[in-house]
Homo-oligomer: A and B are copies of this chain.
Amino acid sequence: MKKMFETKINQLKDLIDKELVNIYPNGPTLLNEPINYIISGGKRLRPILCLLVCESFDCSIQKAVIPGLSIELLHIFSLIHDDVMDKDQYRHNQLTIHRKWNTSVAILSGDAILALAFKRLNKTSNNIKELFNSALIAVCEGQALDIEFENLKNVSVKQYLEMINLKTGHMLGLSAELGGILSKLHKEELFKLREYGNLIGRAFQIQDDILEVISNKKIMGKSLNSDLLLGKKTYPMILAQSKFKKDINYIRKVALNDKEKANLLFKDLLINEDIIERCMKFVDEIFLKANSLVESIDNNNNLINFTKFLQERKC
């Protein structure tokens, strides 16, 4: 059963990948090379979710390929620019664009990929275009809050959730809703799908925060450990700060002289004091809540299987 679903996921991924390789065949070298370099990596989770919803509701998957592609492009655009802002060195097991080329090329490729996303969108309805726009603004606002929080001493769980809703939840919510719109579902079902997407997006982001601590660079395919050093407010960090203020202050002091040691101490604290376990429990609760929203409309278990697929991810 699990294997069958994974095969399905891979087939849907192939559909998107096939479109992606033709996204920018010509143009100036300094755009063409980085664009075709960066589109080679990625899990394509957002378009896959969109396509899965379409399949669940007997809507032709082909209809969803172009909107799905636009979602993925918008996602790639945001990763390129975020990696510059967060000074990340690796993504999908390869150097980030700003590291392989430079910041200018990264800014420019991101901009061009966004333009390509909007170009594909022109073939869709005005409603879909408007939803895309709101998602783009949400992604920017989420990233702005993320940077703002770096300079705040204390960030509440509520503030953190608001930030990741904008940064990650909104786009996954849109992906699910888009599948519903293409399947001509009613308002009520669309609302459920969007909420489902928002929640798995939220869980996904916290999973990322956890994986930054317990996974390793090779599995994750991206630079780890940058979060603590940049003062990023992750969910484990917020929990740790509220319960182990003294330890965090000490680790911060250590970081001034020995970043490596500080990271090891931080990791140790999160694991030994069961913070990571609490985070994992919270993630499971969110996934459960997401499922409860769509159980009644999930005809062929696509969404419940998708949740499970995400829940078990190691990278």
- Interface positions of A (Cβ within 8 A of B): 27-31, 81, 84-85, 103-105, 107-108, 110-112, 114-116, 118-119, 122, 126, 129-130, 133-134, 136-137, 140-141, 143-145, 147-148
Contact = CB atoms under 8 A, between A and B. Distances in A.
Give 7 closest A-B pairs by Cβ, nearest first.
A85-B104, A28-B144, A112-B140, A115-B136, A30-B144, A31-B144, A119-B133
A43 to B, nearest CB: 23
A104 B107 CA distance: 10
Contacts of A118: 118, 133, 136
Contact of A30 (B81, B84, B147): B147
B147 A105 contact: yes
Nearest to A132: B118
Nearest to A78: B111
Contact of A108 (B27, B111, B130, B144): B144
A58 B83 CA distance: 49
A267 B108 CA distance: 31
A137 B32 CA distance: 12
A87 to B, nearest CB: 9
A27 B108 CA distance: 25
Nearest to A29: B148
Given A108-B147, A110-B111, A112-B141, 13 more contacts: A27-B144, A28-B141, A28-B148, A29-B148, A31-B141, A84-B103, A103-B103, A108-B144, A111-B114, A115-B136, A115-B137, A118-B133, A129-B129
Given A103-B84, A107-B107, A147-B30, A137 B122 contact: no
Contacts of A30: 144-145, 147-148
Given A107-B107, A108-B147, A119-B133, A140 B85 contact: no
29 contacts: A27-B141, A27-B144, A28-B144, A28-B145, A29-B144, A30-B144, A30-B145, A31-B144, A81-B108, A85-B104, A85-B107, A105-B147, A107-B107, A107-B110, A108-B144, A111-B114, A111-B140, A112-B137, A112-B141, A115-B133, A115-B136, A116-B137, A118-B118, A118-B133, A119-B130, A119-B133, A119-B134, A122-B133, A129-B129
